[in-house]
Structure 1
Amino acid sequence: MSETLLNYPPALVAKPRIPFRPHPPADFEEAGLFHAQVESLVLKFLLSHGIASGRRTADELGLPFGPFPEFLRRLKNQQIVSYTDSASANDFLYSLTDVGRARAQLYFNECSYVGTAPVPFDDYVKSVAAQSITFEHPKKEDLRRAFADLLISEEMFEVLGPAINSGRGLFLYGYPGNGKTSIAERITRCFGSTIWIPKVIEASGQLIKLFDLSAHEPVEAHRSSLLRADDFDHRWIEIRRPTLIAGGELRMEDLEIHFDPVTKVSEAPLQLKSNNGTLLIDDFGRQRIAPIELLNRWTVPLEKRYDFLSLYNGKQIRVPFDQLILFSTNLEPRQLVDESFMRRIPYKIFAQDPDEATFRELFAMFAAKLGFLEVDEAALDHLINRHYRKADRPFRACQPRDLLLQVRNYCVYNDLPLEMKPHYFDFAANNYFTVM
């Protein structure tokens, strides 16, 4: 090994990594499932669907078909299921017997979940570690690609880049309307990679639903078929690194595992769903809970990168806390948190007001997006002189888009050509700045 490499800090020495991909299990034992778990899922599925082939049952559970013929044969010998008809590829159609329906109902009363078989909690923990956000080190070109639809200054890129590379957390603060939320929403794009997550996790006998279509974007729909390619474990799904946003509606209970006493199924909290991605606390300081409560809740996770959650039976489990935490606020961070917590959020980035040159660039950018053929500089000069300079009003990054939308709506309503005129801007500004 060269002397140069030996003198490098350990964190900067590149280590080759094998991309994580969940391999298909050969049998139920390798999948980390007990006989009773598989039986419960199979019987509840047949109770819900009436008749199904062994292959379709395996498909619904996300498990390989290999061990199913023998497993179902044993259930038939126990008079729990019966053959209804033969199916293709040496398969059969199965239905429940009276004994099977009674047993399925008992399983259903214990837990009404029907669907993909769960992944053991330990396997999930290992997957988060293997796909950690700290392994991702986006460069300038990655940031430019992620923010291509926004007008970001070079100064902002120089500050954002190291902050995103830290994989820890940052405050985005400044006046409203300067793009803090837009910036935060695009940060995950810098990583430019996908991750695998289990659809459902099993922890100490409790089922926790992790995959959420409202929070996760699947890379593609893996369609099941008779001759599907079993090159991955179908209990998992490949998604884009997630970005979850929690605004003023955030409650303390949203950060805990939610157990439904009716279905006996639990829902993963926000920080679990955002693992290996980004979690944005938007409009920080306006939540239903006091800022100090939220920050105290996350003191240990931000420092140690793990959290403790309670299951419905009272047992605590240690879970990964592996995401880039972003706090977006219109308030000065020192008004919200004390010095000890600020130390745990090493980057504080101010989203400043655009200068006039940038303000004009924003008009040109949004004019093109909204269908204006050109920017009328005389009309824009009128807007800036009358409604900004004379009113001593600061520029905000959101205003070119908002004002042009009002001009556009005015033109559409009055069946006028889509163009900029001084009195159009007067109309828009008088509406927009009525109480500002």
Structure 2
Amino acid sequence: NGIRDALGDKIYIPRAIEYAGQVITVYDPIVHTAAEEQEEDPNSLRRSSNRYDTRYVLCDRPTVITGGELSLSMLDLVYNPTARTYQAPLQLKSSGGVFIVDDLGRQEEPPQALVNRWIVPLEENRDILALQSGEKFEVPFDTLVIFSTNFHPNEIFDKAALRRIFFKIKIDGPNQEDYLKIFAMVARKRKMPLDEDTLVYLIKNKYPSIDNIYANYQPIFLVDQMIAICEFEGIPYQMSPELIDRAWANMFVKEEKIVH
């Protein structure tokens, strides 16, 4: 969303497109956020320039996020036999915005197969879709595709695929200073009072057990765990070494046998 917001403008999304007499629905209220229309001043001598073709919807640039559930079929047209219309695939709905494939490598299809599906779109900015009849046609491919993975790229892509992914950015975990800033920000947002002694306990007694490896998700997890404990026990939100111990125990699974 931050990348989308950085673009800083709005776009017009067609409610539907038509090809060979077949209607393909593009606008999706789940994906697209319609922009608020500005009311026209009734005393103005000039009509507002905000009027536009109502076959389009003025929207924020879309952000489509998929994860392990992504399959190749979700990148094709979906036919609705009741309405006798098609639903646009995810990449077409994300036109003008951002398409994020999270947890790449955990999908049912191999990641190489997903990238192969996008070789032509990524290189030529056009995609090829097919109707039920088998007839194929081109549509624009105008979306910023971002792949996110915990695997090393060499484990999931061949050299040809790596060439087609132009920018590769390694995102490391935060250092201790940044970690504490994230923790403070999360606590402030959750209205959890910060306790300096508890943070010192966390840093000096807990993190050495995992080689002082900090991750961005950990502050949110720990704060939410402490909040859940406080709400369950009916006590005010608070931080303490005891609550940190209990929250920490839920963040990792112990290596122990399960007795049936």
User: TM-score normalized by structure 1?
Assistant: 0.54
- Cα offset for 1:186? 2.4
Aligned amino acid, residue 121 of structure 2: P
Instruction: Decide which of 393, 411, 415 is 2:234's aligned counterpart.
Output: 415
Instruction: Decide which of 343, 348, 352 is 2:172's aligned counterpart.
Output: 352
Aligned amino acid, residue 284 of structure 1: L
d(CA) in 2 for partners of 1:316, 1:343? 27
Name the structure 2 match of 1:95. none
Aligned amino acid, residue 414 of structure 1: E
Tell me whether 1:248 sits opposite 2:64 in the alignment.
no
Q: What is the percentage of aligned positions where both structures have the same residue?
A: 38
- Cα offset for 1:277? 0.7
Instruction: Decide which of 79, 83, 96 is 1:276's aligned counterpart.
Output: 96
Name the structure 2 match of 1:203. 19
Name the structure 2 match of 1:212. 28
Name the structure 2 match of 1:231. 51
Change beyond 3 A, Cα 1:393–1:305: same
- Cα offset for 1:206? 0.5
Instruction: Decide which of 158, 161, 164 is 1:338's aligned counterpart.
Output: 158
- Judge conservation of contact 2:10–2:60 (CA < 8 Å) in 1: yes
- Cα offset for 1:434? 3.1
Secondary structure at the counterpart of residue 195 of structure 1 = strand
- Cα offset for 1:222? 8.8
d(CA) in 2 for partners of 1:391, 1:301? 42
- Judge conservation of contact 2:192–2:223 (CA < 8 Å) in 1: no
User: TM-score normalized by structure 2?
Assistant: 0.89
d(CA) in 2 for partners of 1:427, 1:264? 55
Deviations 1:21-45 (A, max 9, x none): xxxxxxxxxxxxxxxxxxxxxxxxx
Name the structure 1 match of 2:215. 396
Q: How does 1:89-104 map to 2 (within 5 A)?
A: none
d(CA) in 1 for partners of 2:183, 2:73? 42
Structure 1 residue runs without a partner (length 5+): 1-184
d(CA) in 1 for partners of 2:253, 2:112? 35
Tell me whether 1:381 sits opposite 2:200 in the alignment.
yes
- Judge conservation of contact 2:112–2:161 (CA < 8 Å) in 1: no
d(CA) in 2 for partners of 1:309, 1:430? 49
Change beyond 3 A, Cα 1:435–1:199: farther
- Judge conservation of contact 2:9–2:61 (CA < 8 Å) in 1: yes
Deviations 1:50-102 (A, max 9, x none): xxxxxxxxxxxxxxxxxxxxxxxxxxxxxxxxxxxxxxxxxxxxxxxxxxxxx
Moved over 3 A (4+): none
d(CA) in 2 for partners of 1:287, 1:331? 13
Tell me whether 1:191 sits opposite 2:7 in the alignment.
yes
Aligned amino acid, residue 36 of structure 2: E
- Cα offset for 1:391? 4.2
d(CA) in 2 for partners of 1:187, 1:350? 17
d(CA) in 1 for partners of 2:198, 2:38? 53
More helix by share: 1
- Cα offset for 1:266? 0.6
- Cα offset for 1:352? 0.5
Higher relative contact order (CA 8 A, sep 6+): 1
Secondary structure at the counterpart of residue 142 of structure 2 = coil
Aligned length: 247
Deviations 1:208-242 (A, max 9, x none): 0000011111002699xxxx989211111101101
d(CA) in 1 for partners of 2:119, 2:254? 39
d(CA) in 2 for partners of 1:310, 1:434? 46
